[in-house]
Homo-oligomer: A and B are copies of this chain.
Amino acid sequence: MTAFPEIERIPFEGPQSKNPLAFRYYDPAEKVEGKSMRDHLRFSVVYWHTFRGQGADPFGPGTAARPWDDGSNSLENAQKRVRVAFEFIDKLGAPFYAFHDRDVAPEGESLAESNKNLDDVVKVLKEEQQRTGIQLLWGTANLFSNPRYMHGAATSPNSEAFAYAAAQVKKALEVTLELGGAGYTFWGGREGYQNLWNTDMRRELDNLARFLHIAVDYAKEIGFTGQFYIEPKPKEPTKHQYDSDAAACLNFLRQYDLLDHLKLNLETNHATLAGHTMQHEMDLAGAAGALGSIDANTGDMLLGWDTDQFPTDIYLTTQCMHTLLKYGGLKTGGVNFDAKVRRESFEPIDLFYAHIGGMDAFARGLKIAAAIRADGRLEGLLKDRYASWDSSLGAEIEAGKHSFASLEKIMLERGEVTPNRSGRQEMIENLINTYM
């Protein structure tokens, strides 16, 4: 049985190819800075959008044609879907995938039944992982869809919602361990508020931190050594999510002594909804040693919600890959396509087009970023720009040798600063264009 009989393994055909079902840039074996593109990019397909997304939006139901899916909530349908998913990921050639517990297995009448369903599907996931070699990038638990989580999970005013979420994450961690997952992600879908008048923010934050500490403890207990991630998003579905951006997450992790245990999983569309570029968020996380993984997508800059579009802008992918290379590249993380086809792109083949486009855009961004680094002109400009910090006064200041008094003395003598130099933004933007 095959769900995509007309599709073979997507080949690499090079930049001249006009085949929309081939890669023009992503050649997994090709070496860039001494490492294969496969290992640089660690592409990952997400189960939720790609295998569960139907294209529903607030103004209409799903449109997706998924002939392999009978639309039921049965275990059989769930298991069959796993086979299709792995056929897809395998033909695409992505080495990783990611999922929430409730994406892969139906929620049962009770927690016990839900756990059993999950176990039954995990068996198939494991089989398919072994058959194809595809690996689990990270697991996670859906703590936002079920109405029990309407007011949040770890931050709910209902303490049993906290307890239920704990049980659910426990199971998800076990399953992630079972499947050899390289990480585990917390995205706090409804961990925030709709209205401050009815919210005790301090208590909710305390509970959120408590929850994460218990999770860290449990991972240790069961020997899960994968990387924990926290994924920022400023809003939607809540009016305000506590983990609103990289800085808010880092502040929270520092405040509650969790920074040793979690890194950031950054998403482009969440960055821009928070008023930052993805490059900013990645640079900030990298500078803090907390750049873990990326959810590779893009938003529409004129829309105010999370459109989770596939990334095709090569300026964006170049910025992402340049920043990753700067901070040493991906370790446990990946380039995870937390992205969905448009509601109007409802045919199965659109799933291939979408992922191929995203992968090629990132492969191209990687090559451009490496070319920029190899060429050295940009890095040279940067080195020059900060040169005053590399010797004499600048170096002394950085070495901690100065106080306000000593600096005042120097500047009273000099009277004015050495003239500034142009920031050269336009020239640098042109320079970047020469690599495109």
Find A350's partner among B244, B283, B422 (CB 8 Å cutoff): B422
- Please report which residues of chain A, range 188-221, place their CB below 8 angstroms from some CB of chain B when the two chains form the complex: 189-190, 194-198, 200-203, 205-207, 210, 214-215, 217-218
CB-CB under 8 A for A276 and B240, given A197-B432, A426-B310: yes
CB-CB under 8 A for A381 and B198, given A218-B405, A251-B250: yes
* Contacting pair A276 B304 (CB below 8 A): no
* Contacting pair B416 A148 (CB below 8 A): yes
Interface residues on A, range: 35 or more
* Contacting pair A251 B247 (CB below 8 A): yes
- Please report which residues of chain A, range 381-415, place their CB below 8 angstroms from some CB of chain B when the two chains form the complex: 381-382, 385-386, 388-389, 393-394, 397-398, 400, 402-405, 407-408, 410-412, 414-415
Of the listed stretches A88-96, A126-134, A311-319, name the one at the interface; the rest are far from the partner chain. A311-319
With A60-B145, A198-B381, A217-B403 already in contact, 17 other A-B pairs whose C-beta atoms are closer than 8 Å: A58-B305, A110-B415, A150-B346, A157-B385, A158-B388, A163-B397, A163-B417, A164-B416, A167-B411, A196-B283, A200-B382, A236-B305, A239-B302, A251-B254, A277-B302, A304-B304, A346-B420
* Contacting pair B169 A404 (CB below 8 A): yes
- Would you give 11 A-B contacts (Cβ < 8 Å), ordered by A? A57-B58, A58-B237, A60-B144, A110-B415, A163-B410, A164-B417, A197-B432, A247-B247, A341-B426, A350-B427, A360-B430
Find A403's partner among B157, B218, B244, B286 (CB 8 Å cutoff): B218
B interface footprint on A280-321 (CB within 8 Å = 1, 0 otherwise): 100110111000000000001111110000101111000100
Q: Chain B contacts of A284 at CB under 8 A?
A: 201
Query: Is residue A61 contacting chain B, with contact meaning CB distance below 8 A?
Result: yes
* Contacting pair A418 B255 (CB below 8 A): no
Find A147's partner among B277, B283, B420 (CB 8 Å cutoff): B420
Q: Chain B contacts of A59 at CB under 8 A?
A: 144-145, 189-190, 236-237
Query: Is residue A279 contacting chain B, with contact meaning CB distance below 8 A?
Result: yes
Alpha-carbon distance between A208 and B81 when the two chains are bound, in angstroms: 41
Of the listed stretches A2-10, A36-44, A69-77, A351-359, name the one at the interface; the rest are far from the partner chain. A351-359
* Contacting pair A360 B162 (CB below 8 A): no
Q: Chain B contacts of A385 at CB under 8 A?
A: 157, 198
Q: Which partner residue on chain B sits nearest A279 by CB separation?
A: B196
Query: Is residue A378 contacting chain B, with contact meaning CB distance below 8 A?
Result: yes
Find A433's partner among B157, B305, B361, B433 (CB 8 Å cutoff): B361
Q: Chain B contacts of A218 at CB under 8 A?
A: 403-405
Query: Is residue A429 contacting chain B, with contact meaning CB distance below 8 A?
Result: yes
Q: A123 → chain B, closest Cβ, in Å?
A: 21
Q: Chain B contacts of A58 at CB under 8 A?
A: 56-58, 236-237, 305
Query: Is residue A234 contacting chain B, with contact meaning CB distance below 8 A?
Result: yes
Alpha-carbon distance between A354 and B433 when the two chains are bound, in angstroms: 13
* Contacting pair A150 B63 (CB below 8 A): yes
* Contacting pair A423 B20 (CB below 8 A): no
Find A394's partner among B159, B240, B304 (CB 8 Å cutoff): B159
Q: Chain B contacts of A346 at CB under 8 A?
A: 147, 150, 420, 422
